Amino acid sequence: MAQAKNTSSDADIEQLSEQIATLRSDISTISQTLYDLGRQSGDSAVNGARRKAADLRDAGQQHLHSAQHQAEEMGHQAADAVRAQPAAAMGLAVGMGFLLGFITGRK
């Protein structure tokens, strides 16, 4: 009888050892899967941020070119207006100078 209990005890210990080994393997697999998922989501976030930054940079450059074009167009329009009516342009410049001088000179 003592022999039978000892044998079943050894079998139980062996079974527990096998289950612990299986659990270690499962935990290792789960840890690796979580690591891979974290790395993939991190890479995805970095790539998304890079794409967004590139899109914003491109949009900024487009706005800059548009603003430069509008400024050049307004400069050409102002030059054309001065050529068409030089006396009015001179009077407007003198008036603006007087107004700015009056506003900034007042303390």
What confidence tens digit (pLDDT) does each residue in 79-95 have? 998 899 989 889 988 99
Q: What is the pTM of this model?
A: 0.50
User: How many domains in the chain?
Assistant: 1
Banded pLDDT at 1 (limits 50, 70, 90): very low
Assigned domain for 93 exists: no
Assigned domain for 103 exists: no
Assigned domain for 34 exists: yes
Q: Other C-beta atoms within 10 Å of 89: how many?
A: 15
- Cα–Cα distance, 107 to 99 (Å, whole number): 14
Tokens describing residue 69: 């074009």
Assigned domain for 77 exists: yes
Domain that holds residue 31: 2-81
Assigned domain for 88 exists: no
